Amino acid sequence: MIVILKQPSDKPKLIVHVGPGKTGTSAIQKWLSDSRDQLRTDGYLYPDPDRPAYFDANGDLLCELLATAPNGTESLIEERLILVLNEMAAAAHINACHTVILSNELFCNTPRPNLEVLKRHLAPLFDFSILMVVRDPWSWMWSSWVQGVKRSALYEEFSSYAARDIRIYSSVYENFLDVFSNIILMPYSKSNLIKDISQVLGLDSLKYDVEPWQGRIVNRSLTQEELEILLCVNAICREPAVSKILSDYMIERRPNAEVFVERNPEVDELITKAVADVIARLEAILPNAVRPPRMPIDGKRRSSMIAGFVAKVRAILRGNLRDKAHDPVLTADPSNAEVSKRTMSLDLELLSLLVSTVRSVDSSENHLALLRKMLQEPPEEARYEGHLPADFSSVDYLILNQDVLRGGSHPIAHYLNYGMAEGRVYRRCTTGMPRTVDDVADDGGNAVNRG
């Protein structure tokens, strides 16, 4: 059941799908973008995505204007907003379309005062409705946390993330419920998402062939092993560019992998209490709008997401992320302006050792900061030409000599003062899977170079 609250009008219709994020927005936008030509033939205008290389969402300029915090330039922003909306209405008439469709989860970043401004200027131009997909808060929080791990270098555990950010779930829905009365509420259903959206738009699901889209995953979550790898790498690197490169790589290689979820009673109770009021408001409009998550509550608690998995990490790197014939070394694209100049290249051997390092050292901030510093700074080895071995690596030295990492010593200074005389390992093997100090001992010292 879907409830639509709207008033009839002779003006062009406008449906503004605002998400929120992690409610199937990527799948909906992909379907709308792929169906643009047929939609236009049937009188529905889905304006072209603003950044088609990255997203199938549209309305980025509008979202950008609406997200602007009050700073004394409100009149100028409002003038630009009016211009964008009038251009949109004109495009509907030029294309002989009775309905305009916008879809962008960034609408949810709009401060409440700006929603009032939007409402005021939409009313003269359109018979408009706000479309919100309602997902159960636990699944929404988990999916949002995984997205942060994938895209924002997040490395904290889910329980602490949920305790801090569950308020976002309520505020997103409440902002729109407080401002708009003409709201379409649609329950989240992964298996029927596109069929439901086609019903909202009044489209013939057979004509638009929605069945192949049912249950299609456009932006999948992560497996347990992928989560554990990224949490480790994020804890050291703190670089969103690296998180994105690595997660995209994993998902591209295994697009249909079974994703991991973990639900425990303490976090479940916290979330349920925090969102009780907004859930009541949503279900007063649409009974049973919030469908409970299908995964059972697991009473078993793990001390850490990264406990006891080194063997699995090695197997994944060896089997699923390594294809010498086709796959380049994982590296940030230097031509991408969004990638920090400090972003390091991550080859697969180094990645495996980074993950192992998080487990094997006391991963307090000062220890990880030293390793991160060595990863991000330009190599200093050239300044010590003639004093260091030609293939000396500061990062390798820290990883392979974990007591140096724990002690916080600069790797070059330690090697010159102590490590060289002690015959310390200073370089990873460049062939085969990476080796630890124990591996080197087992192999009689052949896996890495020594001073």
Written in H, E and C, the secondary structure of 7-58 is: CCCCCCEEEEEEECCCCCHHHHHHHHHHCHHHHHHCCEECCCCCCCCCCCCC
pLDDT at position 362: 56
pLDDT at position 245: 74
Question: What gap in Å lies between CA 345 and CA 325, rounded to an integer?
Answer: 19
pLDDT at position 429: 59
The answer to whether 399 touches 405, Cβ cutoff 8 Å, is yes
C-alpha dihedral, 396 to 402 to 403 to 404, nearest 10°: 30
C-alpha closest to that of 63 among 105, 32, 28: 105
pLDDT at position 95: 94
C-alpha closest to that of 3 among 281, 264, 217: 281
20 upstream amide cis, omega within 30 of 0: yes
Question: What gap in Å lies between CA 309 and CA 298, rounded to an integer?
Answer: 20
Which residue is it, tokens 């204007």? 65
Residue 319: partners with Cβ closer than 8 Å, 6 or more residues away: none
| Count of alpha carbons within 13 angstroms of residue 366, beta-carbon side | 6
pLDDT at position 228: 77
Question: What gap in Å lies between CA 274 and CA 132, rounded to an integer?
Answer: 20
170: Cα separation from own chain's centroid: 20
Q: In the beta sheet, which residues pair with residue 186? A: 133
Amino acid at 277: D
CA distances from 45 to 40, 57, 100, 131, 386 (A): 5, 13, 5, 16, 68
C-alpha closest to that of 218 among 16, 46, 34: 34
C-alpha dihedral, 114 to 120 to 122 to 125, nearest 10°: -150
Q: Model's pTM, two decimal places?
A: 0.71
Q: Which ranges of 377-436 does DSSP label H, i.e. alpha helix? A: 394-400, 402-407, 411-414, 420-422
The DSSP secondary-structure symbol of 181 reads S
| Phi, psi of 102, deg, nearest 5 | -115, 140
CA distances from 143 to 53, 62, 392, 443 (A): 23, 26, 42, 43
Pairing of strands 13-19, 99-103: parallel
pLDDT at position 337: 38
pLDDT at position 305: 37
C-alpha closest to that of 102 among 201, 177, 8, 4: 201
Beta strands in 271-429 (DSSP E): 425-427
**Residue 210 three-state SS:** coil
Residue numbers in the chain where pLDDT is lower than 70: 1-9, 52-54, 70-74, 215, 218, 294-367, 372-379, 428-451
**Residue 385 three-state SS:** strand
Question: What gap in Å lies between CA 218 and CA 395, rounded to an integer?
Answer: 37
Two tokens, residue 216: 């299609």
Residue 43: partners with Cβ closer than 8 Å, 6 or more residues away: 96, 97, 98, 99
Residue 54: partners with Cβ closer than 8 Å, 6 or more residues away: none
